[in-house]
Amino acid sequence: MDCFRTRLIISVLLLLFFQWAKGAVVSGKVTDETNEGLPFVSVYLQGTTFGVTTNKDGNYSIELPAGSHDLVFQLISYKKHGELVHVESNDQKIILNVKMEPQPYEIAEVTVNGNAEDPAYEVMRKAIRMRKYYLNQVEFYNCDVYIKGLQRVTSYPKKFMGFDVNAEGEIDKKTGIFYLSESVSKFYFKQPDKIHEVMVSSKVSGNSKAFSYNQTSDLLLNFYNNIVDVRVVSKRGFVSPIAEGAMFYYNYHLAGTFYENGKAINKIQVLPKRKNDPAFRGYIYITENTWRIHSTDLYLIKDAGIEVIDTLRINQVHLPVAVSPLSSGRGDGGEVWMLFSNKLTFSFSIFSFKGNGMYLGIHSRYNVRQSGNEPPKGVIAETALAKAEEKKETSAPPPASKRKKRRRSKMGDTNIPFYQDIIAAERDSQRAERKMFSSGEIMKVNKEANKKDSSYWASVRPVPLTEEEKLDYKQKDSIQVIHESKTFLDSVDKKTNKFKPIDLLFGYSHESRYKKRTTSFSPLLENVQYNTVQGWVAATELEIDKKFESEKHLYKTIGASYGFSDKRINARGKILYEINHRDFTNMGIEGGRQTVQFNEKKPISPLVNSVYSLFDENNYMKLFQKDYLRLSYNSELANGVYLRTFLEYSDRAALMNTTNYVMFSSMKNHGEYTSNDPLLPLNDSLPSFKRNQALELRINLRLRFRQKYVTRPDEKWVYGSKYPSLHLEYRKSLPGILGSDMNYDLVKLSITDKIKLGLLGKANYLVSAGKFLNSRKMELMDYYHFSGNKTIFSNFDFTDFQLLDYYTYSTNGSFLEAHYEHDFGGFILNKFPLLRKLKVNELAGLHYLHTEKLPNYFEVFVGIEKLNLLRVDFVSSFTDKAHLMTGIRLGLKVGGR
C-alpha cells in the first residue's frame, strides 16, 4: 500500500478511535521509589497524544476502548515506563498502579584543562541550527486543549488600604484558593502567527454563571522563538536557550544522557552568563541526531527582570504526532513533535500578599499539516530523514512519463468515494481556515460553555482533581446560592459600605450588590479647589451605576460647585446608557453650567493649579463659563472601526479674576497674579472674548486594521493589532443655527502604534497632522490646543509636552505634532549593579511640534520608572536655532497634572 494511502487510513482510524473512545476506565496512582505520589506524570497511548496527566497526588484516570493498548508513563528525571493494558469490555474498571524509577544518566567524560569545552555546547550549536526548521516545520495545526488554573494566597492582611480583603469569602480560609477553573477548547494555529480558539466548556469554582479566563495563547511559550514573550511578567522578552545569539547569554553543561525508545536524550543545564541577563535557568532536554526539544524544566527569577511574581517555572513535554495525509510537507519520514503537556507554576509576594499558582494545559487530538521547509544540510545526517534526502539528491531524476505515473500512484485511486470524501473534507477545512483567521477573532467563548454538568467533566478531565480541589468545588458551589441571596449580599454591603475617614480624602462608594447598583461620591481632593476666578471652590459629584441582567449599564452623574469669591453656582447632569458591551455602543445626554478650561484636554488639574496658585502665585489654569447641552453616540461599526461623535450647543462667556488671595507670595510675580486671559497676562480690565454661542458637530473615526479580539458571551476584549491605528477627526461649527456665531472646519489625521522590541522593551509613537479648512469665526477655546505643562508635576501621558506653554502656540491654522516614547524595561540599568537593585525601568523619548508660530520645536527626555507607577523625567526643549530650557518632571502615571 502506498505512503499516502497508509497515512490516510491511519489518520481516519485515529479519528474514529478518538471519536468513539468511550470505554473502560483505567485508573491508579503513580509513585516514586519511596511510594510517594508523583505529580504531573504524562500518561498517554504509545504513538499518540491521547492521554492524561496525574494530579498533585499522583492519581490518574483514562478511558480506553476494548482491545490491547500500550500505555506510557513519562516524567522528566524518571525512566519512561510502559504497561500493556488489555481491555475486555467498555464497562470494565481497571486499577493500574505504577512505580517509576529515577532516570539513570550517562555522564560524558570531559578532559579537565584550560581548553576543554563541555559537550553540551556542541549539542546546543546543532539545536540552534535546527531552531528555525522546527519553528516553521508545521504550517497548520489544531488540537484539543484542557486547561486547569489554580491561584491561592498563602498570606494576606485582613484589611488593605481600608478595604476588607475577603469580604465576599472568595478566598478559602484553609487552602487559600481564590481562583479554580477548568476549560476545554479547540485551538487552531497557522503560520506565521495566526491563532483562533473556541472555548467549548468552562467551569469556575463558586460561580456557575461565570466563564473561565483560561486562554491557550497566554500559556504558549515557544522556545523555538529567539525571544520568548512572557506576558504580564515583563515588558521585554527573554532569550531562548536555543536562540540565534544564545551563546552570548548562556553557559551550558551536559548533565547527562538517557535513552528513550532507543533514542539518546541530552539533559542540558542552562545558566545565564551574567546574573541579571534576561535568560532562563534550569534544564532543557535535546534529542540526539534530530536536535529537537524533547522537554523543558526551565524557570525565571527576579534577577532575570520579571515583575509582579518572584518565580515562574515552565515544564513542557513534547510528543510525536501523526501528520495530515494531505500535508504539503516533505513526506519523507521527518517526524513532527508537538506540545503535549504545558505546566506553568509561579509564586508571588507583593505588599502584604503572598501566594502561588499553577496553570496546566494538556494538548491532544492533533491535526497537523506540515510546511515544505527544508532542514539545514549536514545537521541531521544520521537520521532516516537526512538519508532519504541524500538518496534523492544523488539519484538521477526519472523520465517525465514515469514521474507523472508515480504521482498518480502516490495519490492512489481518487475515484474511490472513500478518498473523495476525505479529500473534499480536507479542502473544506482549509477554506474554513482562511475564513476563521481572516476575522481577527483570536478566541470565542461559546454561550453554552458554562452549562456542562459533572458527568461531562468527569469524562473529559485528563487530570483528576485533588482532594482540596474537590473540596473547593463542593464548598463554593454549594454556597453559591447563599452568596447570591439578598440576605448574604446585603450583609457584605453592610461591611464594605462602612464610611471610613480615608473615604473623605479619596472618595466613597456605596454598593448594593443585590440590586447591582453602585453609588460613588467624589473625593475631597477634587471637591476643594482654589483658583483666581472662583476663589475657594466647594464641589461634589455623585455617580450612579446601574447594571441590568442583560449586561446593559445606565450611568447617571450629577455635579455641582460653588465659588466663594465669584458667588456662582455651577451644576451639570449626565446620563449614559451602555447598550451593547460587544460593540461598545452607548449614547448619552449631558448639560448644565460649568467653569471650564480653554483647552478641553485639561492640561492642568485643579489640585495642581491650587497648589501653584496658593504657594507659588502662578494661576496657570485659565477658565471661562459654558452653558451647554451635548448629545453623544459611540459604537464599533465593524471590527476595528470605532465611531465617536457628539453634537454640542454652548453659550460661552468670559470670566475674570475675582480674588488675589495667596498663602505665599512669589518674588518673581511681585505679589500679582496674571489675568485670566490666556494670551494677555496683563489684561485685568477687559474680558478675553465677547459672549457667543456655538453649535459644534464632532466626528472621530478610529481604524485599527486586523484588530485582534476575544468574543465572550457578555463582552468583547480588544487585543490591538500588529498594524498602526489611524484616527480621523472632523470638527464643524454650524453657523446660524440656534444663534450659533462660530464658523470653522478642522480635519485631523493621526497614526499611532505600540511596538514590541524584544529585549529592548517596547515603544509608543503618535504622529498627528491637522488643518483648519475654514476659520472665519472662532474664539480661543475653538483653536487646536496642545497639552503643555509649566509645573513640576506630570501624569506622563506620552502625547503631552512637558515644557511647552499652555496657550502661546495654540493654532487656527495647520499643525504637525509627533511623540515617541521608548520603555527599555531595565535593559540598560540592569548592567549597573547599584542601579539594578532599585528595580527601575529606564525611558527615553522625543516630542516634536510644528505650527505657523513655532516652526520646529523639540523636547528630548530621559526618565526612570518604578512599578509602572512612580516616574521622574529629565527634559530639555529646543528649537532648530537654540536650546530653550531644561526641567524635571515627576509624578504618578495614573494621576492628573
pLDDT tens readout for residues 499-542: 888 888 889 999 998 999 999 999 988 899 999 999 999 999 99
Residues 318/336, Cβ–Cβ less than 8 Å = no
**pLDDT band at residue 408 using 50, 70 and 90 as cut-offs:** very low
- Per-residue pLDDT at 235: 83
Cβ burial 457-466 (10 Å sphere, 16+ → b, else e): eeeebbbbbb
DSSP H or E run through 613: helix 606-616
What is d(CA 61, CA 39) in angstroms, rounded to the nearest whole number? 13
482: number of CA atoms within 13 Å, CB side?
Answer: 10
| CA proximity to 730, closest of 700, 760, 761, 765 | 700
Is a pLDDT exceeding 70 seen at residue 148? yes
The alpha-helical segments, DSSP class H, found in 749-820 are none
| CA proximity to 436, closest of 444, 426, 448 | 444
Measured in residues, the chain has a length of 897
What is d(CA 334, CA 319) in angstroms, rounded to the nearest whole number? 14
Say which residues have a Cβ less than 8 Å from residue 805's Cβ, sequence separation at least 6.
788, 790
DSSP H or E run through 643: strand 641-654
Give the angle subtended at the CA of 595 by the CAs of 590 and 598, to the nearest 5°. Answer: 100
Is a pLDDT exceeding 70 seen at residue 464? yes
> In the chain, what is the straight-line distance between the N-terminal and C-terminal CA atoms, in Å?
76
Considering the entire predicted model, what is its pTM? Answer: 0.85
Class of residue 317 by CB neighbours under 10 A (exposed 0-12, middle 13-18, buried 19+): buried
- Per-residue pLDDT at 668: 62
| CA proximity to 80, closest of 260, 286, 295, 256 | 260
DSSP string covering 513-573: TTTTEEEEE--HHHHEEEETTTEEEEEEEEEEEEE-TTS-EEEEEEEEEEETTT--EEEEE
Is a pLDDT exceeding 60 seen at residue 780? yes
Q: Is the peptide bond before 397 cis (omega within 30 degrees of 0)?
A: no
Residue 534 — φ and ψ, nearest 5°?
Answer: -100, -15
Mean pLDDT of the 65-87 span: 91
Which three-class secondary structure state does DSSP give residue 76? coil
Mean pLDDT of the 284-288 span: 96
Place of cell 503560520: 191
- Per-residue pLDDT at 345: 95
Mean pLDDT rounded to a whole number for the chain: 88
Class of residue 417 by CB neighbours under 10 A (exposed 0-12, middle 13-18, buried 19+): exposed
The angle, 0 to 180 degrees and rounded to 10, between the axes of the packed helices 400-411 and 3-20 is 20
pLDDT in tens, 789-831: 999 999 999 999 999 999 999 999 999 999 999 999 888 888 8
pLDDT in tens, 28-38: 999 999 999 99
What is d(CA 221, CA 131) in angstroms, rounded to the nearest whole number? 14
Mean pLDDT of the 50-69 span: 91
Say which residues have a Cβ less than 8 Å from residue 817's Cβ, sequence separation at least 6.
767, 768, 786, 847, 848, 849, 850
Which three-class secondary structure state does DSSP give residue 612? helix
- Per-residue pLDDT at 711: 94
> How many C-beta atoms surround the C-beta of residue 84 within 10 A?
9
Cell of residue 487, nine digits = 440576605
Torsion from C-alpha of 263, 269, 272, 273, nearest 10 degrees: -100
Residue type present at position 456: Y
Torsion from C-alpha of 367, 372, 378, 380, nearest 10 degrees: 10
**pLDDT band at residue 664 using 50, 70 and 90 as cut-offs:** confident
- Per-residue pLDDT at 391: 45
Instruction: Classify the phi-psi angles of 491: left when phi > 0, otherwise alpha if psi is within -120 to 50, otherwise beta.
Output: alpha
Residue type present at position 310: D
Cell of residue 831, nine digits = 548592567
Place of cell 503618535: 766
Residue type present at position 743: N
More confident: 177 or 110: 177
Mean pLDDT of the 325-332 span: 50
| CA proximity to 608, closest of 896, 807, 803, 872 | 896
**pLDDT band at residue 382 using 50, 70 and 90 as cut-offs:** very low
Which three-class secondary structure state does DSSP give residue 6? helix
- Per-residue pLDDT at 420: 61
Residue type present at position 357: G
Is a pLDDT exceeding 90 seen at residue 113? no
Lowest mean pLDDT among 389-403, 648-662, 858-872: 389-403
Lowest mean pLDDT among 213-217, 231-235, 436-440, 881-885: 231-235
Instruction: For residue 717, list its beta bridge partners.
Output: 710
| CA proximity to 655, closest of 622, 611, 681 | 622
Mean pLDDT of the 22-51 span: 89
Mean pLDDT of the 302-307 span: 87
Percent of the chain surpassing pLDDT 90:
66
**pLDDT band at residue 666 using 50, 70 and 90 as cut-offs:** low
**pLDDT band at residue 424 using 50, 70 and 90 as cut-offs:** low
Q: Distances from the Cα of 593 to the Cαs of 10, 249, 568, in angstroms? A: 76, 62, 10
More confident: 385 or 510: 510
Is a pLDDT exceeding 60 seen at residue 199? yes
What is d(CA 87, CA 65) in angstroms, rounded to the nearest whole number? 7
Residue 305 — φ and ψ, nearest 5°?
Answer: 105, 20
More confident: 18 or 545: 545
Residues 600/810, Cβ–Cβ less than 8 Å = no
More confident: 21 or 483: 483
Residues 798/832, Cβ–Cβ less than 8 Å = no
Instruction: For residue 250, list its beta bridge partners.
Output: 272
**pLDDT band at residue 585 using 50, 70 and 90 as cut-offs:** very high
What is d(CA 130, CA 765) in angstroms, rounded to the nearest whole number? 36
Place of cell 485685568: 684
SS (H, E, C) 242-270: CCCCHHHCEEEEEEEEEEECCEEEEEEEE
Is a pLDDT exceeding 50 seen at residue 406? no
Residues 72/46, Cβ–Cβ less than 8 Å = yes
More confident: 405 or 265: 265
- Per-residue pLDDT at 402: 46
Instruction: Classify the phi-psi angles of 412: left when phi > 0, otherwise alpha if psi is within -120 to 50, otherwise beta.
Output: left
- Per-residue pLDDT at 789: 96
| CA proximity to 751, closest of 774, 739, 769, 736 | 769
Is a pLDDT exceeding 50 seen at residue 10? no
- Per-residue pLDDT at 667: 56
More confident: 136 or 548: 136
Residues 150/175, Cβ–Cβ less than 8 Å = no
Which three-class secondary structure state does DSSP give residue 79? coil
What is d(CA 813, CA 159) in angstroms, rounded to the nearest whole number? 55
Mean pLDDT of the 364-382 span: 81
- Per-residue pLDDT at 19: 43
| CA proximity to 131, closest of 383, 381, 373, 331 | 373
Is a pLDDT exceeding 60 seen at residue 837? yes
**pLDDT band at residue 739 using 50, 70 and 90 as cut-offs:** very high
**pLDDT band at residue 216 using 50, 70 and 90 as cut-offs:** very high
pLDDT in tens, 158-175: 877 767 777 777 888 889
Which three-class secondary structure state does DSSP give residue 486? helix
DSSP H or E run through 293: strand 293-301
Cell of residue 482, nine digits = 447563599
**pLDDT band at residue 351 using 50, 70 and 90 as cut-offs:** confident
Q: Distances from the Cα of 513 to the Cαs of 183, 546, 645, in angstroms? A: 28, 10, 33
Mean pLDDT of the 91-105 span: 90
More confident: 310 or 424: 310
Q: Pairing between strand 42-45 and 51-53?
A: antiparallel
